[in-house]
Structure 1
């Protein structure tokens, strides 16, 4: 289970390439997912971000146990390219990164 209140970090690439509103949204979404899944929360959360016109589809999945959910949101005018973001929950921190940062 992901514990709230841990320090949160992001890689330089996330900071430079992912819109700040999307970063904040993913952290909030992580918190909501953690509340919903409780003990079924994997340490690695994957978020696929797909731009579909004026909306954005966020597909969240994890491996153990296998869970996949989709969410379509309107975030106003944001220039977001299709990408995948990972959030890794470690004992002492949480880190947001692109798979290529790993």
Structure 2
């Protein structure tokens, strides 16, 4: 079970992860719409290993699907 669910936080069926390259390393912004939540973390790694990409995760209870918005 997900740690957020264990804490009593509701998880939306649609999750968005934005990965960005920063001077500090890899920035990851995790967000959802309902209930609204945003969480940001920066992992200090070399910029050569960082990526800039958005990933959508859709949970329909039976299956979870990860895709890039441009593939939708």
Which structure shows the higher helix fraction? 1
- Mapping for residues 19-98 of structure 1, pairs under 5 Å: 31-36=2-7, 38=9, 40-53=10-23, 55-75=25-45, 79-98=49-68
Which structure shows the higher strand fraction? 2
> RMSD value over aligned CA atoms?
2.3
Taking structure 1 as the reference length, what is the TM-score of the superposition?
Answer: 0.57
Q: Which has the higher contact order (CA 8 A, sep 6+)?
A: 1
Taking structure 2 as the reference length, what is the TM-score of the superposition?
Answer: 0.77
C-alpha deviations, 1:54-82, integer Å up to 9, x for none?
Answer: 61000011011111110011355753431
CA distance in 2, matches of 1:62, 1:37: 15
Stretches of structure 1 lacking an aligned partner (at least 5 in a row) = 5-30
CA distance in 2, matches of 1:47, 1:76: 20
Larger Rg: 2
Stretches of structure 2 lacking an aligned partner (at least 5 in a row) = none
